[in-house]
């Protein structure tokens, strides 16, 4: 028996080179015995090649399917996301309520000046607060209210600046050389009230400071445009100086509304009419003298001749009796 192993080309069973037929499958063994197993090997190689290509094809198809699934999921998310985003926006918008016009009340004290009493009607806001967004400037912290159109504020760097409102003018209330003007204290109190509307923000125009070195600004307290609100509610008049005229048209419109509504400075005042006649002249005083029961003269009080008898009478009566001095 040969040490070399041979196999049947048909069933791959073990055979010997001198056999003429395969004892396993009965097929005839022909040709060179050295080639009997080569066909099978070649077939196995072909089968192996086909198998590897099939495996690669299956792997490629599996990867294609996975990427296709991922692409479909991303496409679905892309299509559905705007719907959810739109739904959130609508609910957010639905929750927003329109701000109502706020009525700002300030006590109306009576001011008495040299006999003339004037009472200011308590003004009310004629429209809701302005909600325009400022384009420039920075936030500050209130230090104190100086008067109706001036405040002191702490800047972002920590310094304190005097801030004068641009485009408006309120009556004087703290000027060192001028008297307190009509509606001055009320304008100052109303300015203090507006400072409580929210965080302060300064907006600037072309010219930064006035001749006194004060910072010139449009002042916002939250959503309230303070400069315009003072004019709108009758506590200030429009007073613009070029080149700072950015909001002049807004101020003029607010002033016309205040004038039409007859509020604040535009409200009628109570006056006292001057007297129509002179007061009656005072009656002359009556001069009193003193006489005695038997004397023929009249005397002044305390005279030594009155020690025994002292009768007070008017000078006219004494003369009527014929008495002399």
How confident is the prediction for the chain on average, in pLDDT? 77
Are residues 159 and 236 both part of a single domain?
yes
Please report which confidence band the pLDDT of residue 39 belongs to, taking 50, 70 and 90 as the band edges. Answer: low
Tell me whether residue 87 is in a domain.
Answer: no
Please give the residue that has the higher pLDDT: either 146 or 114: 146
The answer as to whether 26 is a domain residue is: yes
Residue 236: per-residue pLDDT = 95
- State how far the Cα of 161 lies from the Cα of 143, in Å rounded to an integer: 9
**How does residue 283 score in pLDDT terms, banded at 50, 70 and 90?**
low
Q: How far apart are CA 116 and CA 97, in angstroms?
A: 47
Q: Could you list the residue range(s) of the whole structural domain that residue 121 is in?
A: 112-266
Query: Domain check: are 159 and 261 in the same one?
Result: yes
Q: Are residues 132 and 241 in the same domain?
A: yes
Q: What is the CATH number of the domain that holds 182?
A: 2.40.50.90
pLDDT-derived band at 227, boundaries 50, 70, 90: very high
Q: Distance (Å, rounded) from C-alpha 256 to C-alpha 271?
A: 25
**Is position 86 within any domain?**
no
> Which pLDDT score, from 0 to 100, does residue 2 have?
53
One domain, residues 130 and 235 = yes
- pLDDT-derived band at 48, boundaries 50, 70, 90: low
Question: 206 and 313: one domain?
Answer: no
124 plus 241 within the same structural domain? yes
If asked whether residues 246 and 297 sit together in one domain, one would say: no
* pLDDT of 173 over the 80 cut: yes
Within this chain, do residues 136 and 254 fall inside the same structural domain, yes or no?
yes
Domain contains 190: yes
- Residue range 14-36, pLDDT digits in tens: 877 777 788 888 777 777 776 66
Write down the pLDDT at residue 104: 47
pLDDT tens-digit map of 76-118 = 888 888 887 765 554 444 444 444 444 444 444 444 333 333 4
What confidence score (pLDDT) does residue 11 get? 81
pLDDT at 95: 47
pLDDT, position 44: 62
| Same domain (yes/no): 262, 159 | yes
Going from the C-alpha of 80 to that of each of 77, 86, 206, 276, 325, the distances in angstroms are 5, 10, 50, 88, 127
**What is residue 46's predicted lDDT score, i.e. its pLDDT?**
62
Distance (Å, rounded) from C-alpha 325 to C-alpha 313?
Answer: 13
Q: How confident is the model at residue 119 (pLDDT cuts 50, 70, 90)?
A: very low
Residue 99 belongs to a domain: no
In the prediction, which pLDDT does 282 show? 56
Number of domains in the chain: 3
Domain final position from 26, 59, 77? 77
Q: Is residue 243 part of a domain?
A: yes
The reported pLDDT for the residue numbered 195 is 95
Select the more confidently predicted residue: 288 or 274.
288
What pLDDT score does 278 carry? 54
Closest among 192, 172, 206, 6 to 107, alpha carbons compared: 192
Q: Give backbone dihedrals phi and psi of 113, rounded to 5 degrees, phi first.
A: -135, 110
- Boundary residue ending a domain (52, 77, 102): 77
Note whether 53 and 144 are same-domain residues: no
Q: Please report whether residue 95 resides in a domain.
A: no
Last residue of a domain, one of 23, 53, 77: 77
Alpha-carbon dihedral sign for residues 293, 295, 296, 301: negative
188 and 218 inside one domain: yes
Q: Which pLDDT score, from 0 to 100, does residue 120 have?
A: 41
Quick check: is 325 in a domain?
no
155 in the same domain as 72:
no
Angle at 176 between CA 174 and CA 177, to 5 degrees: 120
**Active-site annotation, residues:** 164, 172, 214
Structure-model confidence comparison of residues 243 and 20, the more confident one: 243
Highest mean pLDDT: which range of 102-116, 118-132, 289-303: 289-303
pLDDT tens figures, 174-220: 888 888 899 999 999 999 999 999 999 999 999 999 999 999 999 99
State percent of the chain over pLDDT 70.
Answer: 71
Taking the CA atoms of the chain, what radius of gyration do you get in angstroms? 57
């Amino acid at each position: 028996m040969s040490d070399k192993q041979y196999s049947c080309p048909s069933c791959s069973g073990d055979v010997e080179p001198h056999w003429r037929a395969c004892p396993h499958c009965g097929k005839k063994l022909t040709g060179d015995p050295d080639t009997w197993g080569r066909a099978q090997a070649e077939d196995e190689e072909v089968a192996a090649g086909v198998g590897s290509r099939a495996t690669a094809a299956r792997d490629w198809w599996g990867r294609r399917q996975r990427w296709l699934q991922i692409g479909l999921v991303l496409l679905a998310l892309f299509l559905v996301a705007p719907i959810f985003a739109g739904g959130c926006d609508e609910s957010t918008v639905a929750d927003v309520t329109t701000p109502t016009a706020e009525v700002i009340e300030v006590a109306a004290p009576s001011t008495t000046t040299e006999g003339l009493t004037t009472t200011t009607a308590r003004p009310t806001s004629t429209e809701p607060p302005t909600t325009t967004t400022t384009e420039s400037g920075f936030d500050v912290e209130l230090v104190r209210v100086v008067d109706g159109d001036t405040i002191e504020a702490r800047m972002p760097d920590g310094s304190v600046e005097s801030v004068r409102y641009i485009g408006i003018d309120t009556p004087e209330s703290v000027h060192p050389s001028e008297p307190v003007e009509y509606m001055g204290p009320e304008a100052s109190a109303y300015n203090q009230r507006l400072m409580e509307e929210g965080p302060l923000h300064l907006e600037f125009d072309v010219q930064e400071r006035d001749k006194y070195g004060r910072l010139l600004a449009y002042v916002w307290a939250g959503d309230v445009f303070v400069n315009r609100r003072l004019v709108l509610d009758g506590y200030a008049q429009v007073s613009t100086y070029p080149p700072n005229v950015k909001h002049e048209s807004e101020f003029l419109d607010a002033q016309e509304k205040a004038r039409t509504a007859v509020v604040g400075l535009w409200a009628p005042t109570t006056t006292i009419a001057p007297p129509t006649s002179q007061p009656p002249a005072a009656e002359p005083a009556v001069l009193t003298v003193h006489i005695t029961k038997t004397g023929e003269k009249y005397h002044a009080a305390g005279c030594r001749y009155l020690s025994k008898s002292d009768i007070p009478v008017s000078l006219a009566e004494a003369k009527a009796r014929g008495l002399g001095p």
